[in-house]
């Protein structure tokens, strides 16, 4: 049975000099459902973005690859996974 997985992915900029607002804009273009900017340490901020991805082979690899390819991104990692709830059961 297929379905949708909700992934919370932390996007880390390369450094504090990266324009976090511009990076948020690029992350949103990839279809995130929501996001939060969090201070990590010493002025460094990370974006925690929520994505819905098909449950199947490859999982979150595609979106992680796209996030890592954005200018200014130092890394992207899944910090939480869950299933989307179908309200009509």
pLDDT exceeds 60 at position 87 = no
Mean per-residue pLDDT, 7-19: 96
**pLDDT reported for residue 37:** 98
- Kindly state the DSSP code that residue 29 receives in the 8-state scheme: H
Listed by start position, the domains of the chain span: 1-48
Q: What digits encode the pLDDT tens for the residues 17-67?
A: 999 999 999 999 999 999 999 999 888 999 999 999 988 767 899 999 999
**C-alpha closest to that of 21 among 35, 31, 7, 33:** 35
81 Cβ neighbours under 8 A, 6+ residues apart? 5, 6, 7, 8, 60
Overall pTM > 0.75:
yes
How much is the pLDDT for 89?
A: 47
- 6 pLDDT more than 50: yes
């Amino acid at each position: 049975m297929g379905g949708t997985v909700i992934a919370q992915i932390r996007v880390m900029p390369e450094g504090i000099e990266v324009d976090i607002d511009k990076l948020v804009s690029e992350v949103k273009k990839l279809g995130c459902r929501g996001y939060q900017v969090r201070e990590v340490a010493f002025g460094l901020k990370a974006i925690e973005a929520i994505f819905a991805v098909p449950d199947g082979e490859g999982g979150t690899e595609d979106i992680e690859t796209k996030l890592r390819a954005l200018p200014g991104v130092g890394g992207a990692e899944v910090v939480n996974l869950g299933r989307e709830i179908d309200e009509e059961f």
